[in-house]
Amino acid sequence: EDPGATLTLRADATGPQVNPNVYGHFAEHLGRCIYEGIWVGEDSSIPNTRGIRQDVVAALRELEIPVLRWPGGCFADEYHWKDGIGPRENRPKLINTHWGGVVENNHFGTHEFLDLCEQIGAEPYICGNVGSGSVQEMMNWVEYMTSDADSPMANLRRANGRDKPWKVPYFGVGNESWGCGGNMRPEFYADLYRRYNTFVKNYSGNRIYRIACGSNGSDFNWTEVLMDRAGRRMNGLSLHYYTLPTGDWGRKGSATEFDEAQYHATLFQTLRMDELIAKHGEIMDRHDPQKRVGMIIDEWGIWTDVEPGTNPGFLYQQNSLRDAIIAGLNFHIFHRHADRVAMTNIAQTINVLQAMILTDKQAMLRTPTFHVFEMFKVHQGGTVLPIELKTPKYTLDGKSIPTVSASATRRDDGVVSLSLVNTHPTESIRVACAVGEVPLKSVSGRVLTAPAVNSHNTFDHPETVKPTEFTAALVEGDTLNVDLPSKSVVVLTLQ
Ligand code: AHR
């Protein structure tokens, strides 16, 4: 029996483009994501530019983040933007009722967020307040940020120190309106979406891509109703799906203390993303066969128990090699559906859920997930190449997942990036790749792996999991043989 995998890659074929926004991020006023993680204030001893951490900005720039979603999440539907502008000492406070009941001082507001976007080179995706905000408030916010006119809101912005309007290309009309955003039924939200969206205007040449609140996981009826009643008035419809290790919100499981059964179950859960995109996509196809409306998966990632001893409302969790494998598997799924998936935003950038970066006062570390985003950035904007993959299964307790997952894209300059994941925790596998027309003058690569699937980076050992050069890809005749180590993520550059 041949335990290896085979892969056929057609480098000359055409396919849909991976929208760079598939590699987007999400930062909410939640726990230590914004405060401490990004914002330390101008008087902090931590080096900062206008209050924003320089170490974090430098690390995020390595990821070439295309788009950043803010201010929530659930926070968005209790956020009143006018509380977050003007002199900081005068800004009113509010209670962040969803996330630990802490007092929010509004020091990080519209100007600070848009400054962050400029510092990291990302486009802003702002989520407006439908749950507890007025239509006028939402309308004013858009005018404040984007109008160049001699108009009340634009002049208020100028008075607060910003002359030129910003570009705000993406705007969400409410978040999780079926839950924390107002517990609405889809018919009611569809009408509210139509109403609020009417007043989200395009000022001064800023053209807004409008994103309606989409389904919670497998709520297909939500997608049906939204597409039917409001599909023509939106550019994007969101979808939220979190990977729960056990599939059970009541006992999610630890981020680092898990056995093989939990590891396998977690990957099984994450792979459900494929089926969810396919099924929501079928509904969207019926209403929108041209695929004009983008599927915007603006919250995804693994959600575990919080780290012991931390505030349960802060959603602070460690990040292991398992998380890196999850990220790789999800990106492969998103690439497979590149004709419909126009953006995704992993939850969340810093110190919350499946984070890129963890901070502890002045210390900062890059998580295994960070490294996958960095390794995979070569896929941004690439053309998805069709591949045929035959892989053995990794089976446990009667459930199977593929041992190998793969995706390939081609850049405009002809360079092909092939990413591979070996989900098996203990067995390496040979992948024999028939690469067709790929020019194979040179093959180089990097690998992310570690001693165990729960290996992770700590402030004492921040580089336990980090990418290294990969040398086990060898061209033999017209086959590229890749020896994938167990529990690894590999990105190869073929040119
Ligand atoms: O990302 C954490 C929370 O998960 C978001 O605030 C909310 O939209 C979702 O339920």
Q: What is the pLDDT of residue 3?
A: 67
Q: Token pair for residue 275?
A: 């089926």
ipTM of the complex: 0.99
Q: How far is the CA of 406 from the centre of ligand 1 (A)?
A: 29
Mutate to test the pocket of ligand 1, among 32, 176, 241, 350 (most ligand atoms within 8 A of CB): 176
Q: What is the pLDDT of residue 1?
A: 46
> Hunting for tokens 């990977």 — which residue is that?
243
Q: What is the distance between the alpha carbons of residues 219 and 398, in angstroms, rounded to a whole number?
A: 27
Q: SS3 for 390?
A: strand
Q: What is the distance between the alpha carbons of residues 452 and 279, in angstroms, rounded to a whole number?
A: 34
Q: What is the distance between the alpha carbons of residues 148 and 204, in angstroms, rounded to a whole number?
A: 6
Ligand 1, atom nearest to 99 Cα:
6
Q: Token pair for residue 390?
A: 């035959």
Q: What is the pLDDT of residue 171?
A: 98
Neighbour count for residue 435 (Cβ, 10 Å): 21
Q: How far is the CA of 336 from the centre of ligand 1 (A)?
A: 25
How would you label 194-213 residue by residue, b for 16+ Cβ within 10 Å and e otherwise? bebbebbeebeebebbbbbb
Q: Which of 167, 149, 171, 170 is nearest to 158 (CA)?
A: 149
Residue pLDDT tens, the chain, 495 long: 456 999 999 888 889 999 999 999 999 999 999 999 999 999 999 999 999 999 999 999 999 999 999 999 999 999 999 999 999 999 999 999 999 999 999 999 999 999 999 999 999 999 999 999 999 999 999 999 999 999 999 999 999 999 999 999 999 999 999 999 999 999 999 999 999 999 999 999 999 999 999 999 999 999 999 999 999 999 999 999 999 998 899 999 999 999 999 999 999 999 999 999 999 999 999 999 999 999 999 999 999 999 999 999 999 999 999 999 999 999 999 999 999 999 999 999 999 999 999 999 999 999 999 999 999 999 999 999 999 999 999 999 999 999 999 999 999 998 999 999 999 999 999 999 998 776 678 899 999 999 999 999 999 999 999 999 999 999 888 889 999 999 999 999 998
- Residue 142 near ligand 1, beta carbon < 6 Å: no
Q: What is the pLDDT of residue 478?
A: 82
Q: How far is the CA of 73 from the centre of ligand 1 (A)?
A: 5
Ligand 1, atom nearest to 179 Cα:
10
- Residue 133 near ligand 1, beta carbon < 6 Å: no
Q: What is the distance between the alpha carbons of residues 73 and 128, in angstroms, rounded to a whole number?
A: 10
Q: What is the distance between the alpha carbons of residues 93 and 84, in angstroms, rounded to a whole number?
A: 9
Q: What is the distance between the alpha carbons of residues 110 and 165, in angstroms, rounded to a whole number?
A: 12
Q: What is the distance between the alpha carbons of residues 225 and 303, in angstroms, rounded to a whole number?
A: 28
Q: Which of 211, 362, 412 is nearest to 299 (CA)?
A: 211
* Per-residue DSSP letter, 300: E
Amino acid (1-letter code) at residue 260? E
Q: What is the pLDDT of residue 166?
A: 98
Q: How many CA atoms lie within 13 A of 290 on its CB side?
A: 5
Backbone angles phi, psi at 41, to 5 degrees: 90, 155
Question: Where is 366: in which H helix or E strand?
Answer: strand 363-366
Q: What is the pLDDT of residue 281?
A: 98
Q: How far is the CA of 451 from the centre of ligand 1 (A)?
A: 32
123 catalytic per annotation: no
Query: pTM value?
Result: 0.97
- Residue 74 near ligand 1, beta carbon < 6 Å: yes
Query: 454, exposed or middle or buried, with CB in 10 Å at 0-12, 13-18, 19+?
Result: buried
Among residues 299, 307, 388, 427, which one is catalytic? 299
Nearest CA to ligand 1 atom 5: 73
374 catalytic per annotation: no
Q: How far is the CA of 34 from the centre of ligand 1 (A)?
A: 14
Nearest CA to ligand 1 atom 7: 73
315: left (phi over 0), alpha (psi -120 to 50) or beta: left
- Residue 346 near ligand 1, beta carbon < 6 Å: no
